[in-house]
Amino acid sequence: MAIDKNEPSKLRWGELEEDDDLDFLLPPKEVIGPDENGIKKVIEYRFNDEGNKVKITTTTRVRKLAKARLSKRALERRNWDKFGDAVREDVGSRLTMVSTEEILLERPRAPEAKASGDGLAQLSKGGAVLMVCRTCGKKGDHWTSKCPYKDLAAPVESFVDKPAAAETSAAAPGAGKGAYVPPSMRANAERTTGSDMRRRNDENSVRVTNLSEDTREADLHELFRSFGAVTRVYVAMDQKTGTSRGFGFVNFVNREDAQRAINKLNGYGYDNLILRVEWATPRTN
């Protein structure tokens, strides 16, 4: 078979330089030193069992815990005897341990805000709608990532306050939906019938708290569907870790279904936590 020599040949190192008399020679070993990530590549060439040239690339990550460039005095200090409580130190004392978790210097999520800073500022002057913090809900003056309560589960009273807030400021989110405000409930909504329908649905909203970290929307849907038709499920997620923040909402079509779900599932053990199930906005029944 003819090898078409006019083809622009992709250089395969195995086909290069087929000098028969120098076949027993191998290209030299290359070491591509540790780069800024500490990755070191060693490329070796060998003959495998069938007598073919084989290229072996070993990629290692070189990592140093600490630079041991100690001064002479410091080296002397290294050899000092232990004193005080450290005299009776047994090897298994485990006073000093390396953390099992990798801890990073977590950058605040500001970069996008910086780039479009002015645009956002103008928008916020126009409509406070867009600036509702998902965590504490009521404040309209900061983004979710800057919320002072961002490390906690959202303050519980914010749920109670929301219906009051919803009446007072149309910009506030609808009952129990987080930051998303359906178009019908926004500041300039007119249609009453549409909003009635949705509001009734939102009034059949059930809040579930004390969820485990792994709980997702699908889990809640599966759990609650046996009580009736479920229109919407929502589980509050922590953006950084991807885990549930411990609470969520389920919207039923029928109020009776919601009531039954509350009665049955409040106190129900789910994924080794006891669920708390109640109306999303407290009812004075």
Residues of this chain that bind another protein (CB under 8 A):
36-38, 65-68, 70-71, 73-74, 77-78, 80, 82-87, 89, 95-99, 101-108, 110, 148, 151-153, 210, 213, 241, 245-246
Q: Which is nearer to another protein, 111 or 126 (CB)?
A: 111
Rounded to the nearest whole angstrom, what is the least distance from the CB of residue 157 to another protein in the complex?
Answer: 11
Rounded to the nearest whole angstrom, what is the least distance from the CB of residue 241 to another protein in the complex?
Answer: 7
CA distances, 121 to each of 14, 102, 266 (Å): 61, 36, 43
**Structure tokens that stand for 23 in this block:** 């076949």
Least Cα distance to 263 among 220, 206, 199 occurs for: 206
Least Cα distance to 256 among 264, 268, 248 occurs for: 264
Rounded to the nearest whole angstrom, what is the least distance from the CB of residue 66 to another protein in the complex?
Answer: 4
Q: Which is nearer to another protein, 151 or 167 (CB)?
A: 151
At 233, is the secondary structure helix, strand, or coil? strand
Rounded to the nearest whole angstrom, what is the least distance from the CB of residue 164 to another protein in the complex?
Answer: 21
Rounded to the nearest whole angstrom, what is the least distance from the CB of residue 98 to another protein in the complex?
Answer: 5
Pairing of strands 244-252, 205-209: antiparallel
Residue 44 has a CB neighbour count (10 Å cut-off) of 15
Rounded to the nearest whole angstrom, what is the least distance from the CB of residue 35 to another protein in the complex?
Answer: 10
Residue 213 has a CB neighbour count (10 Å cut-off) of 13
Q: Which is nearer to another protein, 5 or 63 (CB)?
A: 63
Q: Which is nearer to another protein, 12 or 72 (CB)?
A: 72
Q: Which is nearer to another protein, 3 or 66 (CB)?
A: 66
Q: What angle do CA 69, 36, 34 make, to 5 degrees?
A: 75
**Structure tokens that stand for 46 in this block:** 């060998």
Q: Which is nearer to another protein, 5 or 69 (CB)?
A: 69
Q: Which amino acid is at 266?
A: N
> Which H or E run includes 53?
strand 53-61
